[in-house]
Each structure stands twice: as structure tokens, then as C-alpha cells.
A and B are shown apart, each in its own frame.
Chain A
Amino acid sequence: MIPVLIILLYLAVVALVGGVAFRRGKSNTEDFFLANRSVGEMVFFLSLFATNMTAFAILGSSGQAYRQGIGIYGLMASSSGLVIPLTIFLIGTRLWALGKRFGHQTQVAFFRDRWECDRIGTVIFAVSALMLVPYMIISIMGGGTVLAHISDVRGTSAPFIPYWLGCAIVALVVTLGVFLGGMRGTVWVNILQTTLFLCFGLVAVLTISHALPGGFGEYVSKLGGDPQTRFLVTRERMPPQAFWSYTLIPLSSIMFPHMAIMCFSARRVTAFKRTVILYPLAILLIWLPCVFLGVLGVATLGKVGDPDGILLLMLEKYAPEWLAGILGAGIISAVMGSDAHQVLALSTMFTKDVYQHYGGRERYGEKGAVYFARAFIVVITLAAYVVALELKAKQGIFEIAIRYAFSGFAALAPVMVAALFWKRSTKWGALASTLFTAGCLICFALLQHYHRPGDVIWQIGHGKEAIKVLFINPRGDVSFWNGFMTVVPMVFGSAFCMLAFSLLTRAPSRQTIEKYFSSKRPQPTPLPAALAHTSS
């Protein structure tokens, strides 16, 4: 009961912050979607980090570590620690500047202007929105599951907060926060959320180590000494091809609409400095304890029904109830921090890229756009909630969709790189790249649907020397050439499409190229001739 009370208190604070932000807000889209581009340095870091961290960072990472071992940290966390800050440094800063100079509030608004295109922008919008929606749905599903888990009184089967109510609470609090506070409310809440889940790992490790007799080293040696569990503390069952492939996945981060939109909201470009340096450290703080404890769960708890709940089970066993509540709030923070940004991003995209672009502003003005955005937030969250309830049994489908969405957004990264750094890139290159990405996603989804894990679709040679060119890996993912992930052909194929189709088609007008590639440093006003003479 105590954990539930703590979490409900936390949720009340989140809703309250949304209300306060509502009073501070103005009725224009710049304020509602981007907090008037006024987010300060530390808040920017905390908020950007919360935008990118989902429940997966805590529950999924420990669950995967329970299944696959310590390699999960190198596979998903340490590569992200380099690639994500690098993309924020190279792309995020440029996006921020273009947003400030030309008033862009979404990636699509930038693409439309950069490549003088209309419908192609709409295609990019549609593909991005379609890849983002499952992410949002699964956030609500994750929230419902976590609340049900945490409120499950020890020894009983009926949780105090059932799944449907947990989903409703998360959806309601997120909606209230975003509906009332917009970006301002969301980033304020992120300060609390990121602080909570950054502390989570350290507190969990200290608590559990205190409760374990003999210390961690003994358990790790035990796992390493047993041939059945040795793979958990090494990477002997992890294909090096997959390990390398995963270094391309973090390219998706900057292409996620909620991350790009967040980049537009900084007050000054210097806010990015602290963010890119602290980002790898924040990843370390969250992922290292979760992965380590996930592996340790095998030694301490043995076989469990739901590996994604391993951390919650360990907390239940080794932490006092009040602490489990605070840690539970940390997990819910991770769920809601990213979910709020996803809802806000979808609302921003629909309002700016569809509603306003196709005449909404002329007809109903800026205030009308904010009303539209708020109505959209309610509708999309309600729809996500209904889907989360109706398709609970098919949660796996959404998880697969998200896995592919990461590859899909990573494959769109060449579009952004070309838009920012290659003058000669064209809208046809962008269209080819986007359609290639969408086509790959559909093909891989069909392959996965019609084949079972372990199926080899195309193989060269026989026996031990055989090369599996196209197959479904034991986890059920489409893989290439003995273990490379789908993200590899998608990123390189998309880059090739961008290059080839741009070279084959006409470049944008000189006026547009000058607009985006002329020197951005304002020139000093020349002194009048007489004054110049005097001063010399």
C-alpha cells in the first residue's frame, strides 16, 4: 500500500506542475510547443534526457540482461553514449539555429522549406508519425503494467491498481500535464522525473548489495563458473555482427520527432554543451546498475516468469516497502517523461505540418491552432488508451513495431544529414530515401510474419562454411549475413538513395541554397567613410 501512495503522490505533483505551467503560458504555438524557445541549460539537459529514456531503460534493460547477460550494456547503452551526443552535437545544434533563424518548429517544416517541396514533406510526416504512434501506445501499456506490478500486494494475485486503471492513470496524468502545460509543463516535470530515475540505479544497487550476504563478487563468480550461466557474464552467445549493428541504432535518436522538437526549444545553443558531455554519464548511471542487477537476478532469484519484472521482484525481496515505492516512482517517471514528449510531438506535428500548413492558421489564427493542439492531445491519448486495453494480449506486435521504428528512424538520418550539410541534395533524394525506409519496414514485417525464429530464408553454401544471407534470428528479428541487423542495409540503402536520386535530379534554387548555406555570422555594420577615416 505504501508504494502505491508514494506513486499517487508523485502523479499528483506531476499534474500540479502542469497546472502551474498553464498559468504561465501564452496562447500561441511557439509558447505551447516550444516554451517560447526559452529552456535553460540544465533544464534542457534533464528534459532532453527524459525525452529519450523510456521504461525500457530500467525494466527492459534489466530484463534483457537477465536473458542475454552483461553484453546488453555494450550493445545498447555504451554505443548510445557516444552516438547520441555526437548527433546532438552535429545535428541538434544546427537544427536549433535553423529553428531560431527561420521559425521552424518541426523537422518536416524544415525539409519543406529546404527542398522547396510540399507533398514530399507530407510523406515524411506520415512515415514519421506512423513510426511514432506504436511507441506512444506501448508507453501507456508499460505504465499500466508497472503500476499493476508495484501495487500487487505481496502474496496475492489481484493488484490494487489493475492494468486498465494503471493505463488510465498514466494516460490521464500525461494528458493533463501536456494539455495544460504544453512544452513548459513537460520540461518542468522532466526535472523531477530525470532526477528521480537518475538516482534510481544507485539507490537500488546500494540497497540490494546491503541485503545480499557475501557481496556481489561471489554471485558473479558463481555465474561465471557454471557453463550453463557463463554466457551471462561474458558475450560468448552474442554475435559480433549484431553487436556492431547496434551502434547504428542510436542514429534514430535525433530523428525521433520528440527529440528534434526538443532541440528547437533551447534558449541558447550553449545549452547543448553541457548536454552532450553529461549524456554518456547519465546513461552510465541508469543502465549500469540495471544491467548488473538484471544479471544478478539469475543468481539470486533463479527462474522467473517475466524477466522484464526482475528488478521489481528484487526490490520486493530486498528493499523496504517505502523505498520500493520511491523506486517505483522512478520507473513511472521514465515511462511518463518520454510519453509526454511523444504526445506533445505528435500534437506539434499534426498542428504545424498538417493543420496550419493546409490553411488552418489563416482560418482560425494562432489561438485556434493551440485549441486544435489541445483537442488533438485528448483524442490521441484516448485512442492510445483504448488500443492499450483492447490489444493488451498483442503487446508483442507493438514491441516489434518499436524495434523496427528504431531502425526506421535511423534510416532517415541520412535525410537529415543531407538537408543540413549537402547543398546538392534534393527533395527527390529525400523521397527515395523515405520510401526505401518505409518499403524495408513493410518487407521485414512481412518476412517476420510468415517465418518463424530460426528459419533460414536464403543461404549460400552448406555445413559449417554456410553463410546465412537472410534469416530470422532466435529472437524473431530479420537478420543478414550471419547476424547483421536490419538497420545496416536500411541506413546504407537510405544513404545511397539520397545520394543517387539527388545527383539525378535538379538541385533546389540558388535562393534556397543561399538561404541555408550562406555565412550565418552577422557582418558588422560598415562605418561611414568619414568616420572610418577619422578612426584610422
Chain B
Amino acid sequence: MRWIKPALLTLLVAVVYVLHQDFWNWRKFEPLVLGFLPVGLAYHAGYSLLASATMAVLVKFAWPVHLEDTLPYDPKKPGPPDPHS
């Protein structure tokens, strides 16, 4: 069942990506959100908040923890052979 979490997170990103194409707001400007924002613009302002929330979910559940242990480069250590030399 290890695949469930990655699958759900991939689905989340895909759904958020698809929600960007708000064809239902294409030809209308009303209602004016907060009394002045055309609905299409307000939708995409909300979409930016959703994008931020999506990234917060990814950071919480899909953060590449293994990268935090990365050891720094030591130029004195012998590295792999340079393919150009």
C-alpha cells in the first residue's frame, strides 16, 4: 500500500492543474467579488491561494527527507574519473 500516498498526491496536483482551465468563467464578469473584482480574476486569485496550499501539502507529505542528509563536497577526496581528461 506504499503507492497510495504518491498516487493521491499526484492526483491532487493533476486536479489543481486542471482547475486552472476555468472555462465556466470565460464569458462572464459578474458577480463582482468584494464588490469590484471580476469573477474570472477573483477565481484565479483564489487559485493562487490553492497553489500555495497544494505546495504546503506536498512539503508536508512528499518532502524529500533523504536530501537533508546530503554530505558536502570535499575537493580533496578522490572523485569519479573525469570523462574529459
Contact = CB atoms under 8 A, between A and B. Distances in A.
Which of A79, A243, A270, A277 has its CB near the most chain B CB atoms (within 10 A)?
A: A277
Interface residues on B, range: 35 or more
Contact of B48 (A269, A281, A357, A512): A281
A82 B17 contact: yes
Nearest to B26: A235
Interface of A is mostly: helix
A429 interface: no
A96 interface: yes
B54 to A, nearest CB: 7
B54 A82 contact: yes
A98 B75 CA distance: 14
Interface string A64-78: 000000110110011
Contact of A234 (B17, B37, B40, B75): B40
Interface string A184-220: 0000000000000000000000000000000111001
B78 interface: no
A219 to B, nearest CB: 8
A86 interface: yes
B48 A103 contact: no
Contacts of A74: 20, 22, 40-41, 43-44, 47
Given A71-B40, A216-B36, A230-B29, A118 B83 contact: yes
A85 B23 contact: no
A112 B84 contact: yes
Which of B20, B28, B51 has its CB near the most chain A CB atoms (within 10 A)?
A: B51
Contact of A79 (B20, B58, B75): B20
B51 A73 contact: no
Contacts of B70: 97, 100-101, 269, 520
Interface stretch (A174-182, A284-292, A407-415): A284-292
Contact of A103 (B22, B36, B68, B73): B73
B48 A283 contact: yes
A56 interface: no
A89 interface: yes
A534 interface: no
9 contacts: A70-B38, A74-B47, A97-B70, A113-B83, A217-B36, A233-B29, A247-B17, A276-B55, A279-B55
Interface of B: 13, 16-17, 20-23, 25-30, 32, 35-38, 40-41, 43-45, 47-49, 51-52, 54-56, 58-59, 63-64, 66-73, 75, 79-81, 83-84
Given A233-B29, A268-B68, A269-B64, 5 more contacts: A74-B40, A234-B28, A277-B55, A281-B48, A520-B67
